[in-house]
Structures are given as structure tokens and as C-alpha cells.
Structure 1
């Protein structure tokens, strides 16, 4: 029995991880059992896994076509970890403001090996956001790409009380000089000692509703999540041929898939270039990845640029980050191979990864079973548990649920109950087989004339109109109001959208504030709508009379 499983039986992915943990314990001269497995840290697992297959490909940088082996990565990461240790870095904080290239990967592993706690930052963060992060985290080291230097320097000048070591990591020779004199001998290297509940890294929340908080990721939680991306795979190790990772370092998906791919010996395809639909189409055509994930909005922008033949290499595609309509799922399904597993996954930063991924037999618009390392319940507005074939907010509990936000106890107490239940803020329907399906984001709801309006419910109806690419619904003094992005060349009228909404939804959910056509909407880098910015956009559009 896998040590993290609390309901049902372990899957093949969990049993494989058990075999890795057992091998690590035996190497340490410890007899394996469930209790001992529960004390193997993420850093130990990553070091062991990289050492096992030194000549295999760790990553391909699609921006430069460079190929990096496990050994090449590990030697530099070990030297850098030794440098950070010699500088007294254990337990201190580091900033990482970088795109997806090999020096970033070296630093990413090195800080974990040395017990330095990185705060992983969105590369396009503004000076205002960077200043907020610096004051929050107070880092001793700042690793950044040279293109972000002006913003980084301006932000550090706004925090004169902080004196971090600034390291422009992608500048030629900088890391080499920084680690000069430290050996790259892997055999004698050991990772920094840590307990399972120690922080591994800090990740910002998505920022869709305001300035991000710093979420504390632990060894225990991240180790429990290692098998989850491969829960319905059967071949181990190397459950898939090539994992394409498009998200940058600050997203939970980056950590989840980078660590899981390392432990399960799956090469990674990333790019140091800015991720656009055009660039990703080139990556797919050239490297033929077999497994990836998209936000629904990004998938919609990619589809016109790729053919079925170009997508023929995919075995698994997971949609993540925001609600997806059945129409969007079917549009992608039509271009993917008939044997590909297309699914609507669900996870959060607060659970350090996935909560559910649909099995191959699940209905198309379903999120599948809640993973067996989590307890779960569906509750009403008073927190009372509901039964099967009912809808309510999803609460989960288990070792992967975070233990706190950095310097923000109040926010944590609003999110997690005293007895450990994480309130997702999302409403799900649980069917007769205990599969869950997303219904609506509870936290985005607003009232009009005393009735609750769920924006995503209205958005799904708008997006069901042929020719609509994306929409957002916001509150206004006049009632619900929408901004709509059309597909290129589409001829969709306001009347057509109003008719679709009015014929489907109750009176209080209709677009009494009007709607406006816009060329694009503001998103986070993973495709989530920035709803605060969307609301500000709608206010401007209403003032200029563009909503009707």
C-alpha cells in the first residue's frame, strides 16, 4: 500500500514511486517500510533520479535547440548548491525571475538541493509587483534574466533596506564565475537535511483577483503529488515519450511536471522564448511531444495554426487553469488522434498540484475522481455535507494541502478550516459514480436584484455561440455585462448573443448592462482571466457607450 493513499487502492504510478523510495532507503542502509518512505524528501528523490540515468535527456530548449542531459544539469546544479551552502544559504530565500532555459533549470534544482527556499516569479511581473514580492519575501539571492534587469533594479531600489546578491543568470559566464572553485563531483554530494514539512519553495497564487500571496510548498505535499500526472498511465518508468511544459516557473504546473518528469524519467520540452501560439505550433511540428497541458484560451488560439497531422504525436492533452466548454473540448478533440486522452483536469496551488484528472472512461466534460491521497466532500453554503448527485463547494483534506501562506496567517485561516479542510471556492456536481464535474467558481459570483449570478455560467452560454472565441461577464450598476472576443473572420451580432443568453438563462442572469466586442481580454500567463482588470475594462467600455 502506497504510504500516501487514504482511500481505495494505489495506482501503478504510486506503486512505482514506492519502488523509487525503497531504492533510496536501501542505498542509505535503511529497511524500507511505509513509515520510512514517508521521510524521504523531494530533494533526495530528485538527486537520486537524476543520478540513475546520467546520459538521458533532461530537457530540450526549443528556443535554442540545445539538448541537456541529466548529467550536464546535475553537475552544474551540484556546484551551485555547494556555493549556496558555503554562503550560508540554507533556510534563506531566493528570488527567481527567469524564462525556461537550462540555467534556470540548474538554479531550480540547486536551490532545492541546498535548502534555499526560492520564490518563483512570473517573468513579466511589473515593477510594482516585484517590489511587493521583494518586501514580502526579503530574499538573500536574486536570480534573474538579463532582459528583466531594468525592472529588477528599479524594484530593488524601492527596497533599500534589502541587500540581496543580484545574479543575472543568463548572462554568459555569470553562473560559471559564481560557482568557480566548487567541485561538480556528484558521487560525494548530499542534499541539505530537511524535514518533510519544511518549505521547499514559495509559489504565488494565480493573481486573477488581486496581488498574489506566497504559498508554502513542502516536501511532504510535493512528494505526494509526484504520481498524479501519470495516474492513468501504465508504462513505468517513462510513462510518455516527451513532456511539453509551456508554463513558466511560478506556476504549480511547472513544478508538478518538472519534478514528476524527473522522477519518472521523461524528457522535457521547454523554450526560452516567449510562449505564443505561433511558437508552440513550431515546437509541436519540430519535436512531436506526446503529453502536454493547455489553458482553454490558449488551445483555442493554437487550433487554427496546427493540423491534425501535426498533433498526431499526442497521447495525452490536459486542459487546465480555467473552465472549459464542451464545444471547446470537441473542437480540440476533432484535431487530436482518436486514441489521445483529452481531459479537463483540476488542481490548485493550495493542494500543491492536482485534485482530479478524468480517467479514460469519464464523460468528456467531467473532471474525474478526486485522487486517493485526498479526502473530499461536497458542502452547501453552511458547510453541511451533501450526497451523490448534488452540487456544492468542493472541500479537500490531505497531506498535499498547504500548511500556510508566507507571512499571511489570516488568509490561510480564511482558506483552510481549523481541522484541515481546504475550501476550494469551486462548485462541483458529484455523480452516482463519485466522479466530479466543475459547475462554477463560487468566489466570482455577484448579486443582481438580490439573486446570485455566476459569471462562468453566463460565459459558457456566450461561448456556445458559433464564432465566439472567449467572453467575460462582470457586475455593473445596470446588471451583468459582457466583453466578447470573436474568432478571426466571425460574423456574430449582439442580438445573436443576447438571444442565446435570454433563451437559456433566468432574467437576472441576462446581460442587462449590455455587451461589447473587444479584440482580446487580459489573462494571467496560464490563461486565467484577470477578472479585476476585466472589470475595469468593462467600466471603461460602459462609460464610452460601447456596451449595448
Structure 2
């Protein structure tokens, strides 16, 4: 991107409307929106928010699947100077209520039903003193929009004029090793340069149709998803959830060119193609990672799906884009590494003291640069733990770096495991399980799984006189935590292996 970057995400949307007013920006079902129409909708929603007094420093939550209204509500809230608080659609009421309270969210945009879930009903038991209004995107959105003064409201221009790259754009929650999810404070000025580099590495082009299956509540779906589309002039084709048959229909019907996702998405498409060949001639490129990707999978994505420009990359909520492969990198490098530091980042492999180790040696992956988060919401201690005095973000991932700076992730320093593309922190799952009346002690570890990558296994010591049935514990877990956190296996034990100081030896449980 040779041009100067717009200041903020709403400025990106405004610039796209000026640059490509009549070009298609978004496709949803049989409907399309141009960049000009999308920006008009964002302005109209911003006017309705301003009429309610929403402004600098406010927090607006969005709890909904990928859809056009999600994008519009987000840009509108940010236009007012507010930060958005994206909520994972798999959260239960207790988990969502905690995030809404901690952010002091004054408004919530949600939906009446997605996958049969009544989101407002989940919050009925939650005490949310700051939450003044809930707007149903799938029912009341038009009425909400009409309560403002429309897209020509001059107050929208005034709000936009006051918006700077240092405004907090979003507070995404990442599960914490302490058992309490942490809110990552990100600013517009940290996101856009990283997205610009990502566009350069992937070749995402104006008019290319981008199937966004990664959820908008995740950095991947939002920042290198719809924000990247606005910056590149690409066409957003949002998917509420990944379904292989629907993905194939969209690839064929909408001529999808660009499709990122975890390795499992590509494995599912390849398996379907073996059963029923489909037209994938429109596919050009995408990204996958940071999980280890078998070289044969990269070869098959290229040869069988026609995605010549597939690359691997690595990022996290605390730093959108850390490393990336480059177009033209050899297949084995793309498959076996997650690339080298992107421009604007420094990446090192460090020992326990934070000192860089020799190339080829194993250590923790550290990153420093323009894209590292501002910090964790209301948690200076956790921020200081994550970002050291020299500005290095300690990722908690363990890996090696070759002579050319390409990074390979080998392990995780923390107990975290990745299930179906979602980070799962055992401490958080253990904290919820401990609330079960029959649970005395619990330890959760990740175990390899062919389909999900890893799944949780809970080892539970029952309370005296409690008769724990594994199936009932799993059912209880489904009612009390997001489904990706639910242990797939429960093992009832008399005791847990511990060291001399009483710490549970998870390494023994894993083996």
C-alpha cells in the first residue's frame, strides 16, 4: 500500500466510499452493498448512537455472528469515538455478563437467535448496571437506525474529525492463564499498518471476493477480515459459521478468490472435492497457520483447490500480525514455518531471562513493534507480565528461528491448547468446573485429536460422597461454558499427581 494510510478504521470506510463508490463492498444472500451504501449505513447508525450520547471512551458490545450489521455497528460505534467489545458467540450468560460488567458497556448489539441460542435470555440473570440499551440486529435494527438523523447528520462529521489513531478501537477478550479472561486494548493506529502489510503479503486485491468464515469477534475475522477488505477494496462475503456445503456453494456462485482459515477448513474442502468435484477455478489465495501444517496439505491446497498464493502467518489478539511467509516462498518453508517478522515488528527467540538465544535454539517467541497492544484492560500487573521494560511482548509460544529469520512454533509455554482454532486456557475451564457441587479438585489438559487438533481432558477428584458421572459433567459444562472449552473427556480419579510443593504435575496427566 503505497498511499498514506487512513487514520482510523472509520476513515478507511470513508476513503473506500470515496475511492470505489459504486463497487461492490459486501455480499449477503441475494443482496449486495456498494462501498458508498455501506458507509452511508455506518453514518446513519453513528447518528443514532450520537443521539443517545455515545462518544469518546464509551464501550459498545457486539454479540452476534458474522453479518453486514456487525460491520456497520462496529464502524458506527468507532466513528463516535467508542471502542467495540466483540463477544464470542459461543459464550454463556455468565461469561458474557462478566465481560459486559468489566468493560462498562453501555449498549449491546445482539441477535434473537443464532444456532437456536436466545442471547438476551442468557443475560436475564446478570446484573448489568451500565447497560442502557440492547438492540437486536436481526429484528430492531431498522427502527434503531431511523431514530437518528440519517447519513447526512453533520454531527457524524464532527465526531469523525475528532477521531485519532490513538483512540481505542476494540477490546477483545482473550482467556487468561489465571482463569480470568483479559481485555486486550487495541488502537486504530496499531491495527492499520499491520493490516496493510498483510494485504501486501497475501496480494488481496480490489474487487476480489473474500469468504470470511473466521468470526468477526476474533482478530482474524475482523482485522485481517473485513477491515482488510475495506482497505484493499475487496468484497466481503461473510459466513455466520463455517459449513462446508455452504462454503462450496459460495465459492462456485460468488466466484470466491480469497479464503483464509485454519488447516481444518482446507482439509474439509479437499475431502468434499474427492466425493463431489466442485468448481474452484476462482480461488487464488489465502492464509493458514499458525498450527503446524503438513507440507502435503499446502501442496494439495495449491494443486487441487488451485490456491497458488496460499501462505502461512502467525498472530494473536495482543499483536494482530507477528510473522508471515511471503509470496513465492518455497512450499516446505510455507508448510513448516509461520514466516518471518513482518515490517514494523522485531521478533526474537529468548531464554527465561528474556535474552535472545542462538539461531536454531528453542525459546519463547517475543515480539516488539507498532502492532503490540496498548495493554490489558484495568490490569497493569498482567500488562507488565506480558510486555517487559524493553517493550517485548512475551507471546507464551515456544519455537525456533532459522538463519533467515523464519519462525517455527514448537510448543506453548503456557498450558493453553488450541481446539478447533480457538485458544483454550485450562485454568479458565478449571475455575468453572470447580463451581460444580460435586467437584473437589480438577486439572484440565489438552490431548491430540485428529479433527479438532486438540481437545480438553478433565481429571476430577470428586468431593466426599459425590457420585460423579463423566457424561453428566460434560452436559453440565455445556450449560456453563462456551462449547469449545467443554472437555471432551472426563476422568474421575482418587487424586492428582503433584510435586513436593503441591503443584499438579500436568506433564504426567498429558502422558
Partner of 1:244: 211
Partner of 1:46: 13
Give 1:356's match in structure 2, choosing from 317, 320, 324: 324
Partner of 2:109: 143
What CA distance in whole angstroms lies between the structure 1 residues aligned with 2:10 and 2:21? 17
What CA distance in whole angstroms lies between the structure 2 residues aligned with 1:131 and 1:221? 28
Q: For the Cα contact (< 8 Å) 2:290–2:338, is it kept in 1? A: no
Give 1:81's match in structure 2, choosing from 43, 46, 53: 46
Partner of 1:71: 36
What CA distance in whole angstroms lies between the structure 1 residues aligned with 2:294 and 2:452? 10
Matched, 1:313 2:282: yes
Q: For the Cα contact (< 8 Å) 2:26–2:237, is it kept in 1? A: yes
Partner of 1:106: 72
What CA distance in whole angstroms lies between the structure 2 residues aligned with 1:542 and 1:51? 67
Superposition deviation, residue 141 in structure 1: 0.9
What CA distance in whole angstroms lies between the structure 2 residues aligned with 1:347 and 1:404? 16
Q: For the Cα contact (< 8 Å) 2:21–2:36, is it kept in 1? A: yes
Partner of 1:274: 241
Superposition deviation, residue 405 in structure 1: 1.4
Partner of 2:228: 260
Partner of 1:4: none
Superposition deviation, residue 360 in structure 1: 2.0
What CA distance in whole angstroms lies between the structure 2 residues aligned with 1:177 and 1:259? 24
Partner of 1:374: 345
Q: For the Cα contact (< 8 Å) 1:394–1:423, is it kept in 2? A: yes
Distance 1:304 1:82, change over 3 A: same
What CA distance in whole angstroms lies between the structure 2 residues aligned with 1:136 and 1:414? 20
Superposition deviation, residue 418 in structure 1: 2.2
CA offset digits 1:69-120 (Å, max 9, x no partner)? 1122111211111221232211211111112222222212111111121101
Superposition deviation, residue 351 in structure 1: 0.6
Distance 1:160 1:115, change over 3 A: closer
Residue-pair matches, total: 440
Q: For the Cα contact (< 8 Å) 1:345–1:358, is it kept in 2? A: no
Partner of 2:133: 165
Long gaps (5+) in structure 2 = 418-444, 460-476, 496-509
Distance 1:343 1:160, change over 3 A: closer
Superposition deviation, residue 261 in structure 1: 1.2
Matched, 1:228 2:197: yes
Higher mean C-alpha deviation, range 185-194 or range 281-290: 185-194
Superposition deviation, residue 407 in structure 1: 2.0
Superposition deviation, residue 343 in structure 1: 2.3
Matched, 1:118 2:84: yes
Q: For residue 353 of structure 2, give the secondary structure of its aligned residue in structure 1.
A: coil
Superposition deviation, residue 51 in structure 1: 2.5
Superposition deviation, residue 334 in structure 1: 4.5
Q: For residue 226 of structure 1, give the secondary structure of its aligned residue in structure 2.
A: helix
TM-score by length of 1: 0.72
Q: For the Cα contact (< 8 Å) 1:130–1:152, is it kept in 2? A: no
Long gaps (5+) in structure 1 = 1-12, 25-39, 447-454, 478-521
Q: How large is the Cα RMSD of the aligned pairs?
A: 3.4
